Amino acid sequence: MDKRDIKTFSWLALFAIAMAFVETTVVVYLRKLYYPQGFNFPLNITIPSDVIFIETVREICTIIMLLMVAFLAAKKIYQKFAYFIFAFAVWDIFYYIWLKVLIAWPSSLLTQDLLFLIPVPWMSPVLSPVLVSLSMIVLSFIIVNFSPKKIRKREWFLLILGSVIIFISFIWDHTFAIIKDGFISKFSNAFLAKEFMNVIFTYIPSGYTWTAFLLGEVIALFGVYLIYRNAKKDQKELRREKNGLR
pLDDT digits (tens, 9 = 90+) for 171-227: 887 666 655 555 455 545 544 455 656 666 677 777 788 999 999 999 999 999 999
Q: How far is CA 59 from CA 47, 55, 66, 224, 240, in A?
A: 17, 6, 11, 27, 47
CB 183 within 8 A of CB 199: yes
pLDDT at position 100 over 70: yes
Average pLDDT (122-134) is: 94
User: Measured in whole angstroms, how far is the alpha carbon of residue 45 from the centre of its chain?
Assistant: 25
pLDDT at position 23 over 90: yes
CB 231 within 8 A of CB 144: no
Whole-number pLDDT of residue 172? 82
Collapsing DSSP states into helix, strand and coil, what is residue 92? Answer: helix
Whole-number pLDDT of residue 104? 93
Whole-number pLDDT of residue 118? 73
Q: Are strands 123-125 and 112-114 parallel, antiparallel or unpaired?
A: antiparallel
Least confident range of 17-31, 62-76, 98-112, 162-176: 162-176
User: Measured in whole angstroms, how far is the alpha carbon of residue 51 from the centre of its chain?
Assistant: 22
Task: Give residues with Cβ within 8 angstroms of 171, minimum separation 6.
Answer: 119, 120, 121, 122, 123
Q: 37 φ, ψ to 5°? A: -90, 0
**At how many degrees (to 10) do helices 49-73 and 3-34 cross?**
170
The type of residue at 184 is I
Q: Is 196 or 118 the better-scoring residue by pLDDT?
A: 118
Q: How many domains does the chain have?
A: 1
Whole-number pLDDT of residue 95? 96
Report the predicted TM-score, pTM, of the whole model to 2 decimal places.
0.85
The whole-chain average pLDDT of the chain stands at 85
| Domain limits for position 239 | 3-245
Average pLDDT (47-71) is: 89
Q: Is 184 or 81 the better-scoring residue by pLDDT?
A: 81
Beta partners for residue 201, in sequence order: none
pLDDT at position 126 over 60: yes
Collapsing DSSP states into helix, strand and coil, what is residue 109? Answer: coil
